[in-house]
Chain A
Amino acid sequence: MTTGSPTPGVTRSAHEIARAVRNGDESALSVLQEHLEAIGSIDGEVHAFITLLDDQARSDAAEVDRRVAAGEDPGPLAGVPVALKDNLCTSGVPTTCASHILGSWRPPYDATVVERVRAAGAVIVGKTNMDEFAMGSSTETSAFGPTCNPLDLSRVPGGSSGGSAAAVAAGMVPLALGSDTGGSVRQPAAYCGVVGVKPTYGAVSRYGLVAFASSLDQVGPIARSVADAALLLDVIGGHDALDSTSLDRPPSRYAESLCLLDAGGHAPGEELVAGLHVGIVEELVAGADPLVARSVRAAAESLASYGATVDDVSIPELAYGLPAYYLIAPAEASSNLARYDGVRYGSRVDGPDVEAMNRATRAAGFGDEVKRRIMLGTYALSAGYYDAYYGKAQRVRTLIIDAFSAAYQRFDVLLGATAPTTAFPMGAKVDDPLSMYLSDVCTVPSSLAGHPAISVPFGRAEDGLPAGVQVLAPALGESVMLKVAAAVEAAGASIAPEPK
């Protein structure tokens, strides 16, 4: 069906691995070995990783095994191999953002999410490929070359967290972290047939996540099931004093509530969604390829059969999400990326004075897409244009938030496509930035509102590639969002079994 599919990887869930390691039934070292072998046989073709951390992973796994032997509990992710997008700072380990401008920079500290994942007993196996500075929707703007979609090597894995999504989809790791500014976790998850979560803005610490657009960036989990994604979300979420936009809330226990429902076999869809009011958002379906739109409709029908009330809803303001996003995100990026000036870290190209050095360094270090975004943002913020572009976009952002609020008066969750198409061919959009940007049209509205959203695969579209269904919820609505997503997942698995 697909061309050049590589060797199948490991398919066991994070829940299963952590249970076996905590019980002492299996060593973290043998789990790691199995996954490193999968990476060895698959990643030559897929290129999901920029940096592999075999040695550090082996010593971390040995430490997990030592703790189990000593009767300690290493934590909810005991021995689970995890991959990190390469814009998450790892102490002493290169963090490239897939850019030449950072050179061989090794951060002197760990991101909060990295500390938390490790403290939960996970074993970090490597840093994954991405669009340069998370700017892109295909992982083709990486300075280290593209990642291939493991389901069809001639297609993109989506982006910008394409390496993380591909690593999970190919069975090289059960869990990965990505970052989502305008859809960068959800869209690659959809293209690779896995689950990706963009949490509520402020639910997960951004400390140590290299900044792109600070009012939009959130770290999110990628997994092969909703329950596994929830498990990782529980570990990374919660207040962090090092991020002033971190919400002061106790840690979540989403995985537990999903798994309790799972105790007697499979989660009955009725227990997950009966009585809920679900809205299918016309603006998030109408523009989508019929292959994808059909999956969203079918997922909604399944929810209705489980006892949810499903209605169509139109939210016209969402159509302005994309143009507003492509003014706001580049504006914030142009400011955030001013720090790459050849002074404090990364590479430098010398010049006769400091400004010439800055210009030459940035010309040599940034790729085309990053230059375009910085230019766009600088333009939108420049004197005489601020009100017409950036100011206007910020007002449109308010209208989008208000329109969502009105919809959530009626609906518990909203449903739409994650992306308008399935994974597109490599090279199809690299020279046409606007057409590339249009692949974010369904994911940016929740980002602008700071709301949570999740992409769940729902079978395969007629082209043989997975179609992502997006479940959107109001701020801090992760609990209901994950339950609906679990019901969509269960229904998708029953109508369209994964090809073996």
Chain B
Amino acid sequence: MSAGLDQPAERAGLTGSAALTSEVAAYVARLARIELSAGELDRFAKQLGAVLEHASQVNALDTGDVEPTAHPLPLRNVLRKDEPRPSLERDAVLAEAPASEDGCFKVPRILAEER
């Protein structure tokens, strides 16, 4: 199941143009872990294609020797004093989880069974 997530973009049909096929939308939906119907994939592909076409306007600007900005502030490492202080109550946090057991979050099985 999860093998598909390592698939290179090209093999899923991600090539060149901004046009978004519903196959590419399906690949992206899998990366984003959202289950979508064929109808939704088709609709989103069209809508996102239009947005991407608009977004490709950024290509009109020459950014050859421009540094990228990830953040509007000059980034620096922020350190606080290493003093112990109380964290959130474990029970209060777990009470908000969909499922918990023995002080842990509980999820369905992660590893597939041997076949």
Contact = CB atoms under 8 A, between A and B. Distances in A.
A108 interface: yes
A414 B79 CA distance: 36
A327 B72 contact: no
A433 to B, nearest CB: 5
Interface stretch (A64-72, A159-167, A393-401): A393-401
A434 B54 contact: yes
A317 interface: yes
A395 B63 contact: yes
A119 interface: no
Interface in B62-104: 63, 66-73, 78, 80, 88-89, 92-93, 96-99
Nearest to A389: B55
A276 interface: no
B38 interface: no
Contacts of B109: 352-354
Contacts of B51: 326, 372, 376, 433-434, 437
Nearest to A330: B51
Given A343-B107, A384-B14, A437-B51, A396 B33 contact: no
Nearest to B27: A382
Interface in B15-57: 20, 24-25, 28-29, 31-36, 40, 44, 47-48, 50-52, 54-57
B55 A327 contact: yes
Contacts of A262: none
B48 A397 contact: no
B9 A375 contact: no
Interface string A329-370: 000001000100111111110111111111110110010100
A351 B108 CA distance: 7
A375 B97 contact: no
A343 B18 CA distance: 34
A23 interface: no
B91 to A, nearest CB: 10
A396 B44 contact: no
A374 interface: yes
Given A394-B69, A450-B72, A450-B73, A378 B28 contact: yes
B17 to A, nearest CB: 11
Contacts of A394: 68-70
Nearest to B93: A108
A447 B61 CA distance: 20
Contact of A108 (B2, B92, B98): B92
Contacts of A433: 47, 50-51
Contacts of A247: 73
B25 A375 contact: yes
Interface in A419-436: 432-434
Query: Most A CB atoms within 10 A — which of B8, B34, B67?
Result: B34
Contacts of B92: 108
Contacts of B31: 378, 382
Contacts of A348: 98-99
A342 B98 contact: yes
A374 B8 contact: no
Nearest to A391: B68
A10 B98 CA distance: 42
A352 B107 CA distance: 10
Given A245-B73, A371-B40, 12 more contacts: A108-B89, A108-B93, A247-B73, A323-B55, A323-B58, A327-B55, A350-B108, A372-B44, A374-B34, A376-B52, A378-B31, A385-B9
Report the 10 A-B pairs with minimum CB-CB distance, sorted nearest first: A450-B72, A394-B68, A348-B98, A395-B63, A384-B9, A363-B35, A359-B35, A244-B78, A397-B69, A323-B57
9 contacts: A202-B72, A245-B73, A343-B107, A348-B98, A352-B109, A354-B109, A375-B29, A383-B8, A450-B73
